[in-house]
Amino acid sequence: MLRIWPAQGAQRSAEAMSFLKVDPRRKQVILYDPAAGPPGSAGPRRATTAAVPKMFAFDAVFPQDSEQAEVCSGTVADVLQSVVSGADGCIFSFGHMSLGKSYTMIGKDSSPQSLGIMPCAISWLFRLIEERKERTGTRFSVRVSAAEVCGRDQSLRDLLAEVAPSSLQDAQSPGVYLREDPVCGAQVRRPTLPPWGGGGARAALSRRRHRSLCLLQLQNQSELRAPTAEKAAFYLDAALAARSTSRAGCGEDTRGSSHMLFTLHVYQYRVEKCGRGGMSGGRSRLHLIDLGSCEAVPGRAGEAPGGPLCLSLSALGSVILALVNGAKHVPYR
C-alpha cells in the first residue's frame, strides 16, 4: 500500500504533484520525468525529451489529503481478520525520513481522528475477538510484548521490562537476544506459556511457511497478559515511554535509528464437539513496527553517509524485494 505524504508548503506541494498523477480508484500512481517538464506542458525541454512515464500499482493508494482514520481502516482490516483466524500478520511503514511513518503508525492522542495504526489495531482486534467469541464460543487470551532495536550496534532492548511483574523479572537474565533455530522457525517465547497450544492444519501450514522464510527467534522478552484493549493500550504507552527514555540518552547520530516492534500474541482454544472432549487451539501474532528514520548523518572516514544507521533499513529493503520477486532465498540475516 502507498501513502503519499503532503509536501511542506503549498508551492512545493503543487510542484511535486505536477509530476505525479494519483488514481486511488485504480490503485496506481504515474510518475513523470521532471526533466521533461510537467505533463501536458509544451516547450523545448518537452520537445527534446522522450521520457516514458512510469506507472506503479498497489493494493491501495492513499492520496496526500487522506485522513488518518481512512489509512488505518484500509490498512488493518484484512490483517486483523487473518490474525483472529489463526495466521500471523505484520504492519509497518517503510520510507524516507520526515514522511510521516511514525505518525501513520502511532499518530497523536489529541483526538480519536488522529490516532495511528497501532492504537486502532489494538481496539479493533479486541472487538473482533469479542465477536468471534459470541459466534463460535472460542476462548481467547491476548499477551503483549515490545522490543526496541537501537544504536549503531543495533542492540535489542525489552521495552516492557519496567512494567513486567516482579515474578517475571530475573536479575541474571541476559536480556532480549536472537537465537537461530532451524526447526521451529521465527517465534517469540517466554518460559511460562498458557497450557494450550496444539494447533491444527492451519497452524501447521503457518509454521511451515515461517520455517521457509526465517530461522531466527527473538528470545527472553516480556510477554504480558492484556485482558482488555485498555490494558494493551497501556502497554503500548509504556513501551513508547521507555523508547523515548532510551532515545533521549542516545547521541545525535543514533537517535533516529530506533525501531520498535510491538507484538500482540493471540492465543485461542476451544473444546471439540466430537464426544471425546478434546481441545484444539494455537497462537497467532500481530506485529506492529515503527521504524526509525535513518537520519542523514555525515559519514566518518571511510564510511558511507549514514553508516551503520542505515543497515537495518537497507537489509529490510532487501527482504521486501526478495519476497515480492519470489526469490528462493530470503536474506533474513
Asked if residue 329 belongs to a known ligand binding site, the reply is no
* Bridge partners, residue 115, by sequence: 107
Worst-scoring range by mean pLDDT, 37-41, 146-150, 329-333?
A: 37-41
Hunting for cell 504492519 — which residue is that? Answer: 91
Question: Residues of 58-96 as b/e, b for ≥16 C-beta within 10 angstroms?
Answer: eeebbbeebebeebbebbbeebbeebbebbbbebbbeee
Asked if residue 95 belongs to a known ligand binding site, the reply is yes
d(C-alpha 264, C-alpha 121), whole Å: 10
Asked if residue 96 belongs to a known ligand binding site, the reply is yes
pLDDT of residue 42: 57
Query: At residue 187, does pLDDT exceed 60?
Result: no
Residue 40 identity (one-letter amino acid): G
Residue 175 identity (one-letter amino acid): G
pLDDT of residue 251: 53
pLDDT of residue 308: 52
Asked if residue 18 belongs to a known ligand binding site, the reply is no
Q: What are phi and psi of 225, to 5 degrees?
A: -70, 135
Asked if residue 313 belongs to a known ligand binding site, the reply is no
pTM: 0.77
Q: Kindly tell me the sign of the dihedral angle through the C-alpha atoms of 107, 109, 113, 115.
A: positive
Closest by alpha carbon to 195, among 269, 273, 277, 87? 269
Across the range 82-106, mean pLDDT stands at: 91
Asked if residue 102 belongs to a known ligand binding site, the reply is yes
Asked if residue 9 belongs to a known ligand binding site, the reply is no
Q: Calculate the alpha carbon distances from 40 to 12, 46, 278 in Å.
A: 19, 9, 68
Element (H, E) at 263: strand 259-271
Strand order in the sheet with 20-23: 20-23, 28-31, 54-57
d(C-alpha 8, C-alpha 6), whole Å: 6
Across the range 115-123, mean pLDDT stands at: 96
Residue-wise pLDDT tens digits, 232-289: 999 999 999 998 776 555 555 445 568 899 999 999 987 766 656 566 778 999 999 9
d(C-alpha 22, C-alpha 170), whole Å: 53
Residue-wise pLDDT tens digits, 37-47: 666 655 555 54
pLDDT of residue 249: 55
Asked if residue 98 belongs to a known ligand binding site, the reply is yes
Go through the domains of the chain in sequence order and give each one's CATH number: 1-66 (no CATH), 82-92+135-324 (3.40.850)
Torsion of the alpha carbons at 161, 165, 168 and 170, rounded to the nearest 10: 60
